[in-house]
Structure 1
Amino acid sequence: MSKHTAFWEDLSRDLQDPEFLRDYVVESMRISTIDSVVNAIDDAREAAGLSKAELARAIQKEPATIRRLLSSESANPTLGTLAEVAAVLGLRITVEPIPEAERGQITQPLLEGRAADPMKLAEHLEELRRPRTRLPA
């Protein structure tokens, strides 16, 4: 990622606005978290040998619901739906602390409404938002 493009310079400047910074950090964490949970659920589904339709039947939903959940780039599932699907797969959704090394890059800007290094924050959030490569089944 080039630090010298107009996009990154504009984003770094925008992150100096406390309201924009908070919105951008929260949205980045939302995207990263949903992506991680949905991928873990889909990996568990594949490991269990269940089709998306079988998973849908187990929670009494239409197969399209599960297809959208596991295939959509813009999935925004409810926690209830994730918990239901996870339970079918023998999983539980939990909350875990952000690693200490990352906490200063996420939590402090949210609390303070500013980042010591907006470019570094932008790069870190971009890394979080980047879809994870899934291992082949």
Structure 2
Amino acid sequence: MTGTSAFWKDLARDLEDPEFLREFVVESMRIATTDEVVNALDEAREAAGLSKAELARAIQVEPATIRRLFASNKSNPTLGTLAEVAAALGMRITVEPLDDDERTRVTEPLLAGRTADPVALARHLHGLRTRSKVPV
């Protein structure tokens, strides 16, 4: 058994605990959503030809704040910060419903605290978090 398969086996066992499952789903979705929004804002900043320092001046924050937002893998910005950055780029942050497949894969296990296939759930969430396509 490889280390990777042991990892998935252990994670699948952990996901049988409803509390762990809910925390894992919520954290995975938080990371994936934050990364998607931050990446879109950085792309918009580049397309607008704005430097990070210029963007920081526009929303009256230290340039280091914007550098950390766009450079850190562990960025955890507030919604307020993201909304300010978006406004400076002529954008706004919106909420959209998950498609039916995502509701089945993510929302139903989150609400129920269980899933019929914990390995598939873990791999799907991992794929969202890493933005890679992981076979399910």
Bin of the TM-score, shorter chain as denominator length: over 0.9
% identical aligned pairs: 70
Cα separation, 1, equivalents of 2:131 and 2:63: 24
Cα separation, 2, equivalents of 1:20 and 1:113: 9
Q: Residue by residue, what CA displacement relative to the aligned partner does 1:28-77 show, whole Å, maximum 9, x if unpaired?
A: 00000000000000000000000000000000000000000011000000
Which residue of 2 is the match for residue 32 of structure 1? 32
Query: Between Structure 1 and Structure 2, how many residues are aligned?
Result: 131
- The Cα shift of 1:95 comes to 0.3
Cα separation, 1, equivalents of 2:97 and 2:128: 15
Which residue of 1 is the match for residue 127 of structure 2? 127
Helix, strand or coil at the partner of 2:44: helix
Structure 2: runs of 5+ lacking an equivalent: none
Cα separation, 2, equivalents of 1:75 and 1:55: 17
Helix, strand or coil at the partner of 1:65: helix
- The Cα shift of 1:131 comes to 4.1
Cα separation, 2, equivalents of 1:43 and 1:81: 17
The structure 1 segments of at least 4 consecutive aligned residues displaced by more than 6 Å after TM superposition are: none
Cα separation, 1, equivalents of 2:16 and 2:105: 14
Which residue of 1 is the match for residue 102 of structure 2? 102
Cα separation, 1, equivalents of 2:8 and 2:77: 30
Cα separation, 2, equivalents of 1:39 and 1:100: 25
